[in-house]
Amino acid sequence: MTNETPTYQELEKEIIKLKLELQIQDKMINTIPNPLFVKNKDFIYTNCNEAFANYLGLPKTKIINSSVYDISPKELADRYYNADCELRDNLKNQSYESKVKYANGTIHDILFHKANIINENNEFCGIVGIMLDITERKTAEQTLKENQKHLMQLNATKDKLFSIIAHDLRTPFNSILGFSELLITDGTDLDVLEREEYLGIINSTTKNTLVLLDNLLTWAKSQTGQIVYEPQKLLLSSIITEIIQDSTSIANTKNISLNQIKSDDIVVNADKNMIQIILRNLISNSIKFTKPGGNINISTIPKQNDIEISISDNGVGINNETLKKIFDTNTNISTNGTAEEKGSGLGLILCKEFVEKHGGEIWAESERGKGSVFKFTLPLNHSKQAINK
């Protein structure tokens, strides 16, 4: 049997058929909404769809017969070229994620799926690849992670609230009830000094419990995002004077002297409510751990870029192990004061949170038996200036 040479008409029909098949293939890849490309064995683009051209912001005529170095920044081109080499040398298929900048300037998370093109002799002939935009999926995953973290924080807040309510609040209320019932049932049998002693215990316990309750509510609001940071220009000395006056009655029950060390009038850009809470808690903490007849000094020291506020006492001091953990939200350290005052450990945690919201730092210096100094800084967003009062 002899091989017949195709006629011109037969060749023409085959060419028309081949052109139609190529048109169909071109239509097929252009209907794919994801960027798709084909490279030869030298990593030169031989074909791509319209989505790929749109991603690059180039016409297909500029892409075909070009390398990745002709159409992409060198940093990206190096990354894509190395991935192509790895696919050619070691893998049949390849998938990896990468940040990609589209022609319109937007950054997208892209998942690349690529595969080798192998001929009948098992020789490498090129690469075909498709790009899947997973930006929305990645954003949704990140949002889900943040929501899960937020829910865990809320759950931890709830557990801590219940723990404090069950233990730290119950004890002082039992004390108040016990002494008040004693005064009601046996009041006539008690002398004046005994009645005054019990009333003093009820009064101081009530005040300390109010501080604890205020901290509890403030901390709960802080953890649930209900406290908004609203800075304004404040005369710091006036805020300190106000808090000292508010704390005097509690200090008087232990005959403790509160002293404001005079300094230049300084204006800070701060949230008034947060600064009041910080000062009230630090002064209250010093009162708690200072013995009757002690002294507490509150001073301000201007620095180059911030102001340092110091609350020092001659109280019982803090050991090194406790000193390392007093601002740690996970340890929940609470120690009875010199008059057996109860606490939850929330006060110092609130101080740390609110100081850091201002961009400042807080720390403590102490030695057992020699008192403590609590210091925090507030950035100075404008220069020191005197206020005419």
Tens digits of pLDDT across the chain (389 residues): 456 777 777 777 777 777 777 677 777 777 788 899 999 999 999 999 988 998 888 898 899 999 999 988 888 889 889 999 999 988 788 888 888 877 778 888 989 999 999 988 888 999 999 999 898 888 888 888 888 887 887 776 666 666 666 556 666 777 788 888 888 887 777 888 888 888 877 887 787 777 777 777 787 777 777 788 889 999 999 999 999 998 888 888 889 999 999 877 888 999 998 999 899 989 988 988 898 999 999 999 988 888 999 999 998 888 888 888 888 766 655 665 554 555 556 788 888 989 999 999 999 999 888 889 999 999 886 433 433 43
Side chain identity, residue 155 = N
What does the pLDDT read at residue 360?
94
Distance of alpha carbon 384 from alpha carbon 304, whole angstroms: 10
First to last CA, the chain: 119
| Residue tagged 């730092």 (tokens) | 361
Looking at the chain, the domain(s) classified CATH 3.30.565.10 span 228-389
* Structural tokens at position 24: 């169909």
* Structural tokens at position 99: 């940040």
What does the pLDDT read at residue 388?
40
What does the pLDDT read at residue 168?
61
Cβ contact 255:278 at 8 Å: no
Looking at the chain, the domain(s) classified CATH 3.30.450.20 span 20-133
* Third-level CATH fold of 144-227: Helix Hairpins (1.10.287)
Phi-psi region of 332 (alpha: psi -120 to 50; beta: other; left: phi over 0): left
CATH class of 20-133: alpha beta
For 7, the enclosing helix (H) or strand (E) is none
What does the pLDDT read at residue 334?
60
Contacts of 107 (CB under 8 A, 6+ apart): 99, 100, 101
* Third-level CATH fold of 228-389: Heat Shock Protein 90 (3.30.565)
CA 72 to each of CA 54, 80, 126, 127: distance values in angstroms, whole numbers, following the listed order: 14, 9, 19, 18
Cβ contact 279:243 at 8 Å: yes
